[in-house]
Amino acid sequence: MLIEKNPNKTTDTNSLKLSVQSINERYTSLSETSCCLSCGGAINHANVKLNEICLDLGSGRGNDVLRMAEAAGEGGYAYGIDLSDGMVAKARRNIEKFEIKNAEIIQSEMEKLPLSENSIDIVISNCTINHSSNKEAVWSEVYRVLNPGGRFVVSDIYATLPIADEYRNDPEAIAECWAGAVTRAEYLFMLEEAGFSNIKILEESEPYAKGKAEVASFTVYGEKHP
Ligand SMILES: C[S@@+](CC[C@H](N)C(=O)[O-])C[C@H]1O[C@@H](n2cnc3c(N)ncnc32)[C@H](O)[C@@H]1O
């Protein structure tokens, strides 16, 4: 099947900056609310084992990082990556409050991870990768940092039809978790292109309206070759 490369990919540096700024503003204001920001139950399918090194992309308030740190135990470690000032501050406060020693939040964009190759056992992410204007870079980074035999479990949204041209580079609509969505076929194609194997959909919603689009949520699993 021939699938167009991610049409949402923004090449214009200015739109990219605006998009990062909108995401930072939106999530900094949401960091102190209790509203749910997730698309699915990635963490519930992660099956983190003792001593594993874990990574959460778009870690938000850090809840899943804390859960992975607890499951991995003293011999394991959990990293959270997030770009938003407010989310990073909130998650760091949570780590301090619960006196967690085996977790940290790194402020970074997930398109270029400040982590070594072959250093992570499991990557999770919840409702974050849809925001990226360079999803191929994100998946290539996930592949790079995973250990051979490592796995990802990602909950995200996809669009049932390609997002209309007038919205796909709109920074606010991207920050609202819908205009950055690609179709299901494009999503799965990116995972294959990045090199993952044993790709499985673990859960999937019915389509629903979001912003000016129809989307669905799913949780996807994949592995890096041992
Ligand atoms: C919908 S929230 C989800 C937060 C958390 N995963 C949860 O389920 O509660 C998306 C998060 O991804 C972060 N984010 C969006 N784009 C990002 C990027 N390119 N790099 C790093 N973090 C990003 C946002 O700052 C926000 O905290």
- Residue extents of the structural domains in the chain: 13-223
Pocket of ligand 1 (CB under 6 A): 23, 27, 37-38, 58-60, 81-84, 87, 109-111, 126-128, 131-132, 177
Pocket test for ligand 1, best of 27, 109, 176 (most atoms within 8 A of CB): 27
**CA 120-6-133 angle, 5° bins:** 65
Looking at every residue in the chain, the average pLDDT score rounds to: 92
- Taking the C-alpha atoms of residue 76 and residue 114, their distance in angstroms, rounded to an integer, is 19
Query: What is the number of the ligand 1 atom nearest to the C-alpha of 132?
Result: 19
Cβ-based neighbours of 163, under 8 Å, separated by 6 or more: 8, 178, 179, 180, 181, 213
Q: What is the arithmetic mean of pLDDT over 28-49?
A: 88
What share of the chain in percent tops pLDDT 70?
94
- What are the structure tokens assigned to 5, written together? 């490369």
pLDDT digits (tens, 9 = 90+) for 164-216: 999 999 999 999 999 999 999 999 999 999 999 999 999 999 999 999 999 99
12 pLDDT band, cuts 50/70/90, is low
Q: Is 8 exposed, middle or buried (0-12, 13-18, 19+ CB in 10 A)?
A: buried
Q: What is the pTM of this model?
A: 0.93
Cα atoms in the Cβ-side hemisphere of radius 13 Å centred on 179: 20
pLDDT over 80 at 144, yes or no: yes
CA 79, 60, 13, 187 dihedral sign is positive
Centroid of ligand 1 to alpha carbon of 211 (angstroms): 18
Task: Please state which CATH number belongs to domain 13-223.
Answer: 3.40.50.150
Pocket test for ligand 1, best of 67, 81, 83 (most atoms within 8 A of CB): 83
Centroid of ligand 1 to alpha carbon of 128 (angstroms): 5
pLDDT digits (tens, 9 = 90+) for 72-130: 999 999 999 999 999 999 999 999 999 999 999 999 999 999 999 999 999 999 999 99
pLDDT over 50 at 1, yes or no: no
Centroid of ligand 1 to alpha carbon of 2 (angstroms): 30
